[in-house]
């Protein structure tokens, strides 16, 4: 049990153990939730503060439920149901953010950096890895073994069977064999073959061609995963990544990998799962996700894999936020923000009212050319000083390097001297040894000196030469030996001509001394040169480091300049794209009155409101100590310069609006429920009015309640009529002209599909692939959607009216509904207030009802927000109902085209398409608008049911509170409420009253309650403590029995100040009773002021 639950429970136990007598006055103070109300109304309260309030509110509801379980009655069961219903509304909402971008945009790397993980979402520099939709959300598991969790959900068997049928038809030619294009990944057959081969790697072309769909479906490995969910739980991210990559990575082999497998004769491939996966859900403890954001990594919208692109398009409508990722090197040049992934996508954003949900992320900002950036952004003056400094450093570095190279050359000379000296010393030492052996030796010539090794090795054989020569007829020498012999002969011939005088030992020793001195000098010079070389090398390194530092500064200036320029350009491009769309729709809607100079919205504000982040995930990862194998990224000194921290903050901030709405709705309902519970608990069940007075008051109250109910019904009816009127004006009345526009454009649109490629037409294979997939096909050249192209004129004409309906006018209608209902509530309460004053009904109860006013008004505000949210969700679905109807109407034409084969088949396909579109165009667009109208009408009926239900619930809650306070119950004379119920009511009051300290602590973190419950009432320790205090003569404050509202007879006499009624929130709780504070004059004055403004008091004079 938590500390708060202990606190509430202790209070409840103390009060529950005290048993008042039935004949005592049962009027109890109505508890006030001052700080809970303040928390709910605080406009600037942070989401974290509100969420803390929700957590405490849930704990409070648990304590109240456990208390109510003590009494078994129908009334208690109703209260418990209300408490449980409110608890279910405490769950936080998710904010889904879709991340999209073309293949190679770097979105997976951006997401990894966002999550502060080196590798969580698979990335690969050789190919596109994001083969499936991947959701990443917060992991609430506290088990360290499950620090990283994943759920891999596979598609159903029937879904895979349907796709297999399409892929199989794509792969086979008219003869039933595998198409020769299967090796070309850009063709329809190539895409189909790659996907089938991924799931069935052991099947050859021949077996694929001859196999039936049923045989494919019966594969054991495939049957084991279809329709299933596999889970991965790991503590370490690297192990988790490898296990996850096994499922989501597409393992297309590069040419080198294929060649390696061929050499190793590895013909067996593993089955790949990505074509069978519906969605992968990853759960991790990333701070960016801690507030409820859910990142959805979507496959590239122009990916070469059909499944990835189609899944991405289908999933986008589920996202409440959209991040578009593009490399900064192409983001501006490609006008990515303006084109916004296509006109159809941009138009859907307009229908959904989602322009404000878009954020743009420019990736790879570390990829920059200083020269190009300086020229294109006019940054020359800013980097000129750095450029000059780098040039100077470069010159110094080159000079130092040149000097170092020269020193190395000098060093090599001395190294040669040392080597030659060593050789000469060795030769003269040999002569010295021969001289010691009394041999006659001569000074070596330069030539013989070079061959000292040969002479030395042949010295001993020379002494035995006569023996060798005497047997040379039997001796066979090798080439080497022969050459040695020839060399020796030449040496002897040379020495005979110019040997000079024989050497003495003194001459030999003198020569050795000279050589050794020469070697020593050379070694000393070499050492000095090595020292100089090391200094030069150090200098070159320092200069290179300085040069790199200056280059990094230049990079930083260029990166910052390009980021600033890119942000402004992208924002302007985005606004320009919306302007073009608005003007296009306005012209379609009313060409005669279209004024291109009229601004339909504030496009400057549109531009400013687009969040743009220029990020470098690589630089951020390096600065965080990751990517150890990669080199440092120049131009970034801190993580903030990479803008990843800003993107993380943006991710958390996106959740704030939804969190605040959820928390406020819960807290407001908690205020209302606690208020109603407090009113019920403090009412003893009898009215102190006479029967006639009570009947008069009840009659008046019922009449006012009837007026209130009728007022609510009228407000609901008026709101619904306004919504219906807006739909008729802005949408339904435009259907006829929209259908006419679409009908006129249908024939030219269908003819364009089969036109020459230079005119935008498709080749035969692509045309047929589109028909085989009921009008939608994606290949390397993009998405080809016949159904959307036919629907485009219809949607263009309706776009402006649709946006006006659901983005502007409907929210205003709902705001007016909130205002009308709030006015009704206040008017009703004012009427009751005037009546209560004149009739003398309890002002204390009336004050409690006044405290409920804001809760009921907020209830209608929450209702209007819920209605708007529901309408937005339903209208998104309705706006997507145009295309399915067109697709259904075109199925027959697609089927005819697919069946065509042989010579002239393409011409027959185009003829069949023309004939079908010409004959069905009027009907299919009419059916499309009828279908959309049906969905919008259904939405309106759902709104009506919800409005009526919720308005009635609010009305019934108000009726219950007012009837409890103003009417009381007509009970028999002498009726005494059962002891258990009396005790329960006191227990509930004490719990509610004490709970406000908890909410005050949330609003005022430094607040420390002065009077807390120290133990169970009646415990020996508690009693002894009180007695000890009295025995010591200490000043004990006047105690008021919380249960009876009367003075405690054992308490000291009451002073004049203590006789003042004390507001409940100024009193402490000690040993089961409320204790007034000791008051000086200022406290007394403040208490008087509070008494004038609040009726919820305990009067020590027992006037009630």
The tokens for 809 are 């006018």
**Is the sign of the CA dihedral 734, 735, 739, 745 positive or negative?**
positive
- The string of pLDDT tens digits covering residues 500-519 is 788 888 888 888 899 899 99
How far, in Å, CA of 547 to CA of 539, rounded? 12
Residue 452 pLDDT more than 60? no
Residue 298 pLDDT more than 70? yes
Give the pLDDT of residue 303: 42
How far lies 114's CA from each of 119, 621, 646, 705, in Å?
11, 10, 10, 55
Residue ranges of the alpha helices (H) in 89-204?
Answer: 107-114, 157-171, 188-199
Residue 417 contacts residue 522 (beta carbons within 8 Å) = yes
**Residue 1028 C-alpha from the chain's centroid:** 61
Residue 135 contacts residue 293 (beta carbons within 8 Å) = no
Residue 70: pLDDT band with limits 50, 70, 90: confident
Residue 763 pLDDT more than 80? yes
Residue 1063: pLDDT band with limits 50, 70, 90: very low
State the CB neighbour count (10 A cutoff) for residue 1084.
Answer: 13
Give the pLDDT of residue 741: 92
DSSP codes of every residue in 991-1048? HHHHHHHHHHHHH-TT---SS---S-TT-HHHHHHHHHHHHTT--PPPPB-TTT-SB-
How far, in Å, CA of 1016 to CA of 17, rounded? 9
Most confident of 247-261, 679-693, 878-892: 878-892
Give the pLDDT of residue 1042: 31
The tokens for 781 are 């050249």
Q: Which of 634, 571, 118 is nearest to 367 (CA)?
A: 634
Where does 344-486 show beta strands of DSSP type E? 358-363
Residue 446: pLDDT band with limits 50, 70, 90: low
Phi, psi of 776, rounded to the nearest 5 degrees: -135, 125
Residue ranges of the alpha helices (H) in 880-904?
Answer: 882-899
Q: Where are the domains of the chain?
A: 118-170+184-289, 380-468+481-552, 687-967
Give the pLDDT of residue 1030: 38
Q: Buried b vs exposed e over 244-283: b needs ≥16 C-beta within 10 Å?
A: bbebbbbbbeeeeeeeeeeeeeeeeeeebbbbbbebbbbb
Average pLDDT value over all residues in the chain: 78
Give the pLDDT of residue 297: 85
**255 in helix, strand or coil?**
helix
How far, in Å, CA of 1058 to CA of 108, rounded? 70
Residue 573 pLDDT more than 70? yes
Residue 870 pLDDT more than 70? yes
What average pLDDT does this structure show over 417-424? 90
- Find all residues with CB under 8 Å of 22, minimum gap 6, and list them: 976, 977, 979, 982
Q: Please, how many CA atoms are within 13 Å of residue 1099, restricted to the half-sphere of its CB?
A: 10
Give the pLDDT of residue 1005: 86
The kind and range of the H/E element at 782 are: strand 782-785
Q: Which of 167, 124, 121 is nearest to 254 (CA)?
A: 124
DSSP codes of every residue in 275-331? GGEEEEEEEE--GGGTTSEEEEEPPPTT-SSHHHHHHHHHHHTT-SEEEEEEEHHHH
Instruction: State the first-to-last Cα distance of the chain, in angstroms, to the nearest integer.
Output: 38
Residue 825: pLDDT band with limits 50, 70, 90: very high
Residue 671 pLDDT more than 80? yes
Phi, psi of 192, rounded to the nearest 5 degrees: -65, -45
How far, in Å, CA of 412 to CA of 405, rounded? 11
How far, in Å, CA of 1046 to CA of 677, rounded? 23
Residue 103 pLDDT more than 80? no
How far, in Å, CA of 243 to CA of 150, rounded? 10
How far, in Å, CA of 198 to CA of 273, rounded? 8
């Amino acid at each position: 049990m938590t500390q708060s639950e202990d606190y509430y429970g202790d209070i409840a136990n103390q009060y529950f153990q005290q048993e008042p007598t039935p004949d005592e006055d049962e009027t109890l103070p109505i508890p006030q939730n001052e700080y809970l109300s303040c928390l709910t109304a605080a406009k600037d309260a942070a989401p974290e503060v509100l969420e803390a309030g929700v957590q405490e509110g849930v704990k409070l509801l648990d304590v109240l439920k456990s208390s109510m379980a003590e009494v078994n009655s129908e009334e208690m069961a109703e209260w418990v149901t209300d408490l449980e219903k409110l608890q279910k509304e405490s769950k936080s909402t998710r904010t889904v953010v879709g991340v999209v971008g073309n293949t190679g945009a770097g979105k997976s790397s951006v997401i990894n950096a966002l999550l502060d993980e080196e590798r969580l979402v698979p990335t690969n520099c050789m190919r596109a890895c994001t083969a499936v939709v991947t959701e990443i959300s917060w992991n609430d598991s506290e088990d360290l073994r499950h620090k990283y969790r994943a759920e891999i959900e596979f598609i159903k068997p029937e879904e895979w069977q349907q796709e297999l049928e399409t892929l199989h038809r794509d792969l086979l030619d008219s003869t039933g064999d595998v198409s020769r294009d299967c090796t070309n990944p850009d063709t329809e057959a190539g895409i189909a073959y790659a996907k089938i081969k991924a799931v069935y790697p052991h099947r050859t072309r021949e077996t694929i061609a001859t196999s039936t769909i049923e045989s494919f479906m019966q594969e054991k490995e495939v049957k084991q995963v279809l329709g299933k969910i596999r889970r991965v739980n790991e503590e370490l991210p690297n192990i988790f990544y490898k296990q996850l990559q096994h499922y989501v990575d597409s393992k297309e082999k590069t040419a080198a990998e294929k060649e390696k497998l061929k050499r190793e004769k590895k013909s067996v491939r593993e089955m790949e799962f990505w074509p069978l996966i519906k969605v992968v859900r990853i759960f991790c403890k990333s701070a960016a996700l801690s507030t409820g954001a859910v990142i959805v990594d979507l496959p590239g919208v122009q990916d070469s894999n059909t499944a990835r692109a189609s899944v991405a398009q289908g999933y986008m409508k589920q996202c409440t936020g959209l991040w578009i990722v593009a490399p900064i090197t192409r983001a501006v040049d490609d006008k990515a923000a303006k084109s916004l992934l296509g006109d159809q996508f941009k138009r859907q954003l307009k229908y959904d009212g989602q322009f404000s949900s878009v954020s743009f992320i420019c990736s790879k900002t570390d990829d920059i050319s200083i020269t190009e950036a300086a020229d294109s952004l006019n940054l020359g003056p800013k980097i000129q000083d750095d450029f000059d400094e780098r040039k100077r450093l470069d010159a110094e570095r080159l000079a130092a390097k040149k000097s170092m190279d020269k020193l190395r050359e000098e060093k090599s000379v001395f190294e040669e001297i040392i080597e030659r000296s060593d050789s000469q010393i060795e030769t003269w030492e040999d002569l010295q040894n021969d001289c010691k052996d009394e041999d006659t030796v001569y000074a070596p010539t330069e030539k013989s000196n070079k061959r000292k090794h040969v002479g030395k090795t042949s010295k001993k054989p020379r002494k035995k030469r006569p023996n060798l020569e005497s047997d040379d007829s039997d001796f066979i020498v090798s080439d080497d030996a022969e050459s040695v012999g020839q060399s020796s002969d030449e040496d002897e011939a040379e020495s005979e001509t110019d040997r000079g005088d024989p050497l003495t030992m003194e001459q030999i020793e003198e020569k050795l001394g000279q050589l050794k001195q020469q070697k020593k000098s050379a070694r000393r010079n070499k050492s000095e040169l090595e020292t100089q070389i090391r200094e030069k090398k150090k200098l070159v390194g320092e200069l290179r480091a300085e040069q790199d530092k200056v280059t990094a500064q230049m990079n930083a200036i260029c990166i910052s300049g390009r980021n600033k320029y890119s942000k402004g350009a992208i924002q302007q491009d985005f606004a320009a794209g919306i302007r073009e769309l608005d003007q296009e729709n306005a012209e379609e809607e009313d060409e005669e009155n279209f004024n291109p100079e009229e601004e339909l919205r504030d496009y400057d504000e549109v531009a400013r409101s687009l969040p743009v982040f220029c990020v470098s995930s690589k630089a951020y990862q390096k600065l965080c100590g990751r990517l150890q194998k990669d080199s440092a990224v120049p131009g970034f000194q801190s993580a903030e310069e990479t803008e990843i921290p800003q993107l993380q903050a943006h991710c958390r901030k996106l959740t704030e609006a939804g969190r605040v709405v959820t928390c406020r709705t819960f807290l407001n309902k908690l205020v209302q429920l606690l208020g109603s519970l407090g009113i019920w608990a403090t009412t003893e069940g009898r009215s102190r009015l006479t029967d006639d007075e009570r009947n008069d008051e009840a009659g008046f109250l019922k009449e006012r309640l009837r007026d209130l109910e009728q007022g609510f019904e009228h407000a609901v009816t008026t709101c619904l009529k306004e919504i219906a009127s807006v739909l008729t004006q802005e949408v339904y009345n435009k259907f006829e002209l929209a259908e006419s526009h679409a009908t006129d454009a249908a024939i030219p649109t269908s003819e364009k599909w089969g036109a020459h490629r230079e005119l935008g037409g498709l080749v035969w294979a692509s045309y047929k692939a589109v028909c085989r997939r009921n009008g939608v096909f994606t290949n390397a050249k993009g998405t080809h959607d016949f159904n959307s192209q036919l629907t485009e004129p219809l949607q263009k004409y309706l776009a402006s009216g649709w946006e006006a309906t659901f983005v502007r006018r409907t929210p205003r209608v709902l705001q007016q509904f909130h205002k009308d209902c709030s006015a009704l509530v206040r008017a009703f309460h004012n009427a009751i207030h005037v009546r209560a004053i004149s009739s003398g009904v309890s002002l204390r109860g009336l004050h409690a009802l006044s405290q409920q006013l804001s809760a009921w008004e907020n209830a209608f505000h929450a209702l209007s927000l819920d209605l708007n949210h529901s309408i937005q969700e339903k209208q998104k679905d309705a706006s997507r109902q145009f295309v399915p109807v067109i697709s259904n109407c075109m199925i027959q034409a697609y089927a005819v085209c697919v069946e065509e084969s042989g010579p002239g088949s393409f011409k027959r396909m185009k003829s069949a398409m023309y004939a079908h579109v010409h004959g069905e165009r009027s009907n299919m667009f009419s059916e499309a608008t009828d279908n959309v109208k049906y969905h919008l009408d259904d939405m309106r009926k759902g709104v009506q049911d919800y409005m009526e239900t919720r308005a009635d619930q609010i009305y019934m809650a108000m009726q219950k509170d007012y009837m409890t306070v103003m009417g009381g119950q007509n009970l028999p004379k002498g009726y005494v409420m059962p002891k258990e119920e009396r005790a329960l009511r006191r227990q509930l009051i004490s719990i509610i009253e004490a709970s406000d300290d908890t909410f005050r602590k949330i609003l005022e973190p430094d607040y420390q309650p002065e009077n807390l419950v120290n133990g169970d009432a009646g415990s020996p320790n508690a009693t002894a403590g009180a007695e000890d205090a009295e025995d010591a003569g200490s000043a004990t404050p006047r105690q008021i029995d919380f249960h009876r509202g009367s003075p405690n007879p054992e308490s000291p006499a009451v002073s004049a100040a203590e006789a003042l009624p004390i507001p409940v929130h100024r009193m402490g709780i000690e040993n089961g009773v409320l204790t007034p504070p000791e008051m000086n004059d200022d406290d007394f004055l403040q208490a008087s002021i509070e008494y004038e403004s609040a009726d919820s008091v305990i009067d020590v004079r027992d006037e009630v």
